[in-house]
Amino acid sequence: MTRAAGLIASVAATLFGLILVTFLIGRVVPIDPVLAIVGDRATADTYARIRSELGLDLPLWRQFLRYLVAVLQGDLGTSILTSRPVLDDVLRVFPATLELATVAVVIGAALGIPAGVLAATHRGGWLDHIIRLLGLIGHSAPIFWLGLMGLLLFYAKLDWVPGPGRVDVFYEGLVDPRTGVATIDALLAGETDVFWSALHHLVLPASILGLYSVAYIARMTRSFMLDQLRQEYITTARVKGLSEVRVVWRHALGNIAVPLITVIALSYATLLEGSVLTETVFAWPGLGLYITNSLLSADMNAVLGGTLVVGVVFIGLNLLSDLLYRLLDPRAR
């Protein structure tokens, strides 16, 4: 009971800090929300009236209390760009980001875990150096540059993948967005052509975004495996005559499965919040592109609301990984 209370208090404090930081960012950014609403030709009386309606004439602590109460009630304000509640906009665009990040983290785990294992088992060899170099490049190269180069090579030159967007232009609006995930909605509607179009559009941006996940997961897997391969039970298993494949891929890898869950969950959260540039390059109508367009339009309600939602998702995934860690590893309880 005490641990549960401590966990709840920790989550509440983190959420409070997130809301506070988000609020302060909105006050520090040199964008006048009143001017964004009324325009630069409004009269002084109109400007003062809108400023009063928004509560910007109140002391800072009272503004924060109003903001805190509104957020706890699910009110993130109204978007200037779309004239709709920000929460409705976020719920509309977030499934596109979820789809992109999910495929990216699957690619990251499918490639990063084997790469990390191979790097650990060939420590100091040419394979280890190649995997570490590729991981360094994937983690260090600007993602917008990788996206542009990917479009130039695979779309413009080789014509292997379609261009920006989620589906081909002539398929847009053909399927009702039941879940917001284009591939799932196409399958639910029985539109296989739309499904393959959505899947083809997904391949390149998900692969570009997944490179960061591959690098992180491979590096952590290598570190975990090196620690396990030095343990006595590995030496015992080898002395007993077990094959190297079984020792490495079953025993050593099996013992790092629990911390890998945390690594993958944190990588997933990072992809959800870090897809802004990828979505912008590929015109992917997700949360990242929504925040970018809102920022360019000085729509601070939408920017702060989207940022707050990303922070809540990150906290939720972090909490989920911690609970899974405790559930699967008795030593952590």
> Are 278 and 207 contained in the same domain?
yes
> Are 242 and 106 contained in the same domain?
yes
> Are 183 and 120 contained in the same domain?
yes
Nearest Cα neighbor of 93 from 323, 299, 292, 288 is 288
Identify the bridge partners of residue 85 per DSSP, sorted by sequence position. 78
Structure confidence at residue 330 as a pLDDT band (50, 70, 90)? low
CATH of the domain at 326: 1.10.3720.10
| CA–CA dist 283, 261 (Å, integer) | 31
pLDDT confidence of residue 241: 81
Domain that holds residue 25: 2-72
Percent of the chain with pLDDT over 90: 12
> Are 30 and 134 contained in the same domain?
no
pTM for the whole structure: 0.84
pLDDT in tens, 239-263: 888 888 888 888 888 888 888 888 8
> Are 48 and 139 contained in the same domain?
no
> Are 62 and 109 contained in the same domain?
no
pLDDT confidence of residue 332: 55
Query: How is residue 75 annotated by DSSP?
Result: -
pLDDT in tens, 287-311: 888 888 888 887 888 888 888 888 8
**Average pLDDT over the chain, rounded to whole?**
84
Which residues have a Cβ under 8 Å from the Cβ of 196 and sit 6 or more positions away? none
| CA–CA dist 288, 275 (Å, integer) | 6
> Are 173 and 257 contained in the same domain?
yes
